[in-house]
């Protein structure tokens, strides 16, 4: 376990989220009692990272159920369906959000749940299962990756994919953690990850607590390190992996992948199968979130551009599958051709 919790359900129908906007300066937890405020917390990036926002949304539905005054299951189901729509609007790119909401709502549809109390319990139990499973999946991703990590590995990582971006342990950062915990001597080079600086603020904060050697680098420095030093691999997380392996992830991932290929450095994507969206054929079909201009024009409270400048702020990009060496999941490591091999893996029970 980490010394902090990104997401925690408390007795009495409270969801506690670690406010990631305030890290690393302050460790502040916010308590939520309704689904609508959880949707806002996802939008504002109090909680962020694909698996974490999926679990938060599931708990958002659990809050709706826990605090509902509905007297019939039909009325409660309607409240949950309305809240599911609100939560779906929170952010568009990470498929885990939609996956988790759909999973809870398919439980809600179970005709065997004929009493209001039983339905409330079932919603909470499903949200808790999603959260617990996420931790187990992440650890398995880390174990599956171990043969790919040499001893004394230098690894470039983008964004934050650790315990903060998940319920616990992490995906790409979880791989680095697992290698470290298994006795390998790893050095993580953390892309700072403009504009929200998830690498500099969050990944560095996590690895510092875990005693894992790292250094923070500017996003634009990764090519320099790959050209001038032996970098063993790059590993990133994912917000949505299309059926052909094209991968949406934090803006800047595509640049990193292109430079990795130019320097013959293996480029791995680490994600649970809950991030694989077989209904999306390729990366062009993934909606890329455009975020507010202030994320580019200011750092903290400091304005860094002239007033009223035009800004483009896509939060994610798509890395075409042919730049990806392998996709590391809890079910195993998938190599190209991804169209064929992701299909085989996802169809296996």
Binding site for ligand MRU (CB under 6 A): 48-51, 94, 159, 161, 165-166, 171, 198, 237-239, 249-250, 315
Task: Provide the token pair at 48.
Answer: 């962020």
Distance of alpha carbon 78 from alpha carbon 21, whole angstroms: 33
Toward ligand MRU, which CB reaches closer, 207 or 315? 315
CB of 23 to ligand MRU, least distance (A): 12
> Where do the H-state alpha helices sit in 198-348?
204-210, 222-228, 253-262, 294-297, 338-347
- Residues 6 or more apart whose CB falls under 8 angstroms from that of 220 comprise none
Give the residue among 56, 215, 62, 64 at the shortest CA–CA distance from 124.
62
* Active-site amino acid positions: 239
CB of 196 to ligand MRU, least distance (A): 6
CB of 56 to ligand MRU, least distance (A): 11
| CA distance readout (Å), 219 to 198, 199, 243, 252, 259 | 11, 9, 28, 8, 12
Toward ligand MRU, which CB reaches closer, 65 or 219? 219
- Residues 6 or more apart whose CB falls under 8 angstroms from that of 340 comprise none
CB of 117 to ligand MRU, least distance (A): 35
Helix (H) or strand (E) holding 32: strand 29-32
Toward ligand MRU, which CB reaches closer, 16 or 21? 21
CB of 79 to ligand MRU, least distance (A): 27
The residue whose Cβ lies closest to ligand MRU is 237
Toward ligand MRU, which CB reaches closer, 80 or 101? 101
Q: Do residues 246 and 283 touch, judged by C-beta distance below 8 A?
A: yes
**Bridge partners, residue 31, by sequence:** 16
Toward ligand MRU, which CB reaches closer, 198 or 297? 198
């Amino acid at each position: 376990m980490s010394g902090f919790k990104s997401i925690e359900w408390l007795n009495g129908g409270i969801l506690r989220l670690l406010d990631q906007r305030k890290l690393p300066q302050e460790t502040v937890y916010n308590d939520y009692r309704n689904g609508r405020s959880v949707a806002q917390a996802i939008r504002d990036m109090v909680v962020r990272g694909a698996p974490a926002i999926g679990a938060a949304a599931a708990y958002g539905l659990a809050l709706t159920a826990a605090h509902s005054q509905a007297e019939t299951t039909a009325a409660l189901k309607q409240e949950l369906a309305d809240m599911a729509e609100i939560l779906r609007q929170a952010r568009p790119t990470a498929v885990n959000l939609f996956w988790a909401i759909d999973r809870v709502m398919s439980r809600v549809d179970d005709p065997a749940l004929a009493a209001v109390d039983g339905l409330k319990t079932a919603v909470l139990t499903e949200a808790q299962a999603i959260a617990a499973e996420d931790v187990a999946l992440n650890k398995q991703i880390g174990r599956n990756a171990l043969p790919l990590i040499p001893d004394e590995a230098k690894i470039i990582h983008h964004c934050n994919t650790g315990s903060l971006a998940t319920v616990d342990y992490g995906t790409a950062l979880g791989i680095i953690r697992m290698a470290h915990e298994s006795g390998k001597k790893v050095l993580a080079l953390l892309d700072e990850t403009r504009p929200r600086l998830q690498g500099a603020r969050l990944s560095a904060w996590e690895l510092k607590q875990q005693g894992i050697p790292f250094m923070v680098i500017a996003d634009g420095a990764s090519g320099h390190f790959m050209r001038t030093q032996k970098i063993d691999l790059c590993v990133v997380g994912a917000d949505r992996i299309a059926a052909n392996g094209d991968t949406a992830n934090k803006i800047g991932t595509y640049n990193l992948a292109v430079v990795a290929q130019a320097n013959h450095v293996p480029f791995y994507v680490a994600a649970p199968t809950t991030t694989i969206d077989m209904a999306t054929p390729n990366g062009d079909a993934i909606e890329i979130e455009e975020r507010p201009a202030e994320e580019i024009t200011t750092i903290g409270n400091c304005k860094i551009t002239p007033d009223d400048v035009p800004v483009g702020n896509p939060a994610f990009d798509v890395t075409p599958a042919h730049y990806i060496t392998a996709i590391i999941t809890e079910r195993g490591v998938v190599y190209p051709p991804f169209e064929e091999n992701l299909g085989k893996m996802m169809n296996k029970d």
